[in-house]
């Protein structure tokens, strides 16, 4: 086995050990020492790849669990958004992605390096995909030409994060339908006088 392949295998082993331990003990109790022991590597091997426990955890969560939530264009913007939102809610409602993602969001609140990396690797791509779908619908006349698409994205995301992180109430398809209906009433094109 060549050195590059050996390094890739070692990285995969460390990622798996990190995820396994995080699921067992939670992020707060996760340690580099425990990961190194589980992966049968030295701490220096981990620190050569990741600057901290937080960055190791972020990489582990995003490389192993990160869903692909790309919007289709069926011609029905509300249905396309609903499809992706249902997929996201389904992932967030159950282990392993939901609890791991909540821990990652928690760490990002006080760790600027994690916040920046999470934003760059997960939040920005999801945002860009949604905004692209909005722009297409707007260009097709399915959304009001003057509606603030960035604001629409934030309005749609807010209730999901509120339930995920604050109230921990279930995010059901019926709830998503209520959110979409409330937002789309404002985004629909209005008859021109």
Read off the pLDDT of residues 96-127 as tens digits, 9 standing for 90 and up. Answer: 778 888 888 989 999 999 999 999 988 999 89
Computed over its alpha carbons, how large is the radius of gyration of the chain? 20
pLDDT band at 193; cut points 50, 70, 90: low
Residue 66: pLDDT above 60?
Answer: no
For 26, the 3-state DSSP assignment is coil
Written as six digits, the tokens of 156 are: 């749609």
Residue 68 reports pLDDT greater than 70: no
Residue 192 resides in a domain: no
Candidate ranges 25-29, 34-38, 58-62, 157-161; pick with highest mean pLDDT: 34-38
Q: What residues make up the domain containing 177?
A: 65-187
Compute φ and ψ for 132, nearest 5 degrees: -65, -40
168 and 128 in a common domain: yes
Kindly report the average pLDDT of the chain as a whole number: 87
Q: What is the CATH number of the domain that holds 45?
A: 1.10.10.60
Confidence of residue 182 (pLDDT cuts 50, 70, 90): confident
The gap between the terminal CA atoms of the chain, to the nearest Å, is 72
Question: What 3 state SS string does 65-125 have?
Answer: CCCCCCCCCCCCHHHHHHHHHHHHHHHHCCCCHHHHHHHHHHHHCCCHHHHHHHHHHHHHH
Q: Which residue has the higher pLDDT, 192 or 17?
A: 17
Task: Confirm whether 193 is domain-assigned.
Answer: no
| This model's pTM is above 0.75 | yes
**At 146, is the pLDDT very low, low, confident or very high (cuts 50, 70, 90)?**
confident
Q: Is the residue at 127 inside a domain?
A: yes
Band of the pLDDT at 65, cuts 50, 70, 90? low
Query: Domain total for the chain?
Result: 2
For residues 137 and 96, give the distance between their C-alpha atoms in angstroms, rounded to a whole number.
34
d(CA 121, CA 116): 9
Q: CATH no. for residue 172?
A: 1.10.357.10
């Amino acid at each position: 086995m060549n050195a590059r392949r050996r390094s890739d295998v070692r990285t995969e082993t460390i990622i798996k050990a990190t995820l396994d331990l995080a699921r067992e003990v939670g992020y707060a109790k996760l340690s580099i020492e425990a990961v190194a022991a589980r992966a049968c590597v030295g701490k220096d091997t981990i620190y050569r790849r990741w600057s901290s426990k937080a960055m190791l955890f972020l990489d582990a969560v995003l490389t192993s669990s990160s869903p692909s939530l790309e919007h289709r264009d069926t011609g029905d913007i509300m249905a396309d958004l609903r499809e992706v939102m249902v997929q996201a809610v389904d992932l967030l409602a159950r282990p392993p992605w939901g609890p791991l993602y909540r821990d990652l969001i928690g760490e990002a609140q006080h760790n600027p390096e994690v916040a920046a990396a999470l934003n760059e690797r997960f939040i920005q791509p999801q945002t860009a995909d949604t905004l692209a779908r909005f722009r297409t619908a707007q260009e097709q006349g399915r959304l009001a030409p003057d509606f603030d698409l960035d604001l629409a994205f934030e309005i749609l995301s807010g209730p999901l994060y509120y339930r995920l992180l604050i109230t921990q109430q279930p995010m059901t398809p019926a709830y998503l339908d209520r959110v979409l209906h409330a937002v789309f009433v404002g985004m629909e094109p209005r008859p021109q006088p």
